Amino acid sequence: MKIHELKASPKRARKRVGRGISSGWGKTSGRGTKGQKSRSGGNIKPGFEGGQTKLVRRLPKARGFNAKNPKIYQIINTSDLSKIKSAKIDINTLIKTGLVKEESIPVKLLGNGRVTKKFNISVNKASRSAIDKIKSKGGRINIVDFSFKKPAKVNKSEDKIIKAKEE
């Protein structure tokens, strides 16, 4: 690189205030007169409202409980079953039709919508209304057990699998 190839810096030099009255930014340097904001180091913390109780402290606290390991289900409704042509429905059928995305997450059937025909369905959980609607058409619901277990841990010193306790 040569000297004539150098370009000017894109950064603008900071404004040097407080350099005499005639500069237009002299005396108080654009800070007004007196008060906390005019002093050096005089900053106000975010959320400070001049001694009034802060908004954060005026709002109510969040209540309730959030489980660390919640039991999450893939939900399908009885109205969704009309999209399936076969009378026998299991998790693999639901995945093929696109109603369920993963086999590793349990499926719950809810009773929202009408049942149009007789079904023999296997899911991990079902609501009372869904069971009643399918049984009213002469169908059956098989509840397939899905255990929410912690994964088995391997003890490196003995190379034995330690079974995790069921929750």
CA distance 108 to 129: 12
Q: Contact at 8 Å (CB) between 92 and 100?
A: no
Per-residue pLDDT of the chain (167 residues; tens, 9 = 90+): 899 998 887 888 888 999 998 888 988 988 988 988 899 888 888 888 989 999 999 999 888 888 888 889 999 999 999 888 888 999 999 999 999 998 889 999 999 999 988 989 999 999 999 999 999 999 999 999 887 665 555 555 544 444 444 44
- Give the global pTM: 0.52
Domains of the chain: 74-143 (3.100.10.10)
Cβ-based neighbours of 156, under 8 Å, separated by 6 or more: none
Q: Classify the phi-psi angles of 85: left when phi > 0, otherwise alpha if psi is within -120 to 50, otherwise beta.
A: alpha
**Unique residue bearing structure tokens 């391997």:** 154
pLDDT for the residue numbered 69: 82
> 73 exposed, middle or buried (CB, 10 Å; 0-12, 13-18, 19+)?
middle
Q: What pairing do the DSSP bridges indicate for beta strands 74-77 and 88-89?
A: unpaired
The length of the chain in residues reads: 167
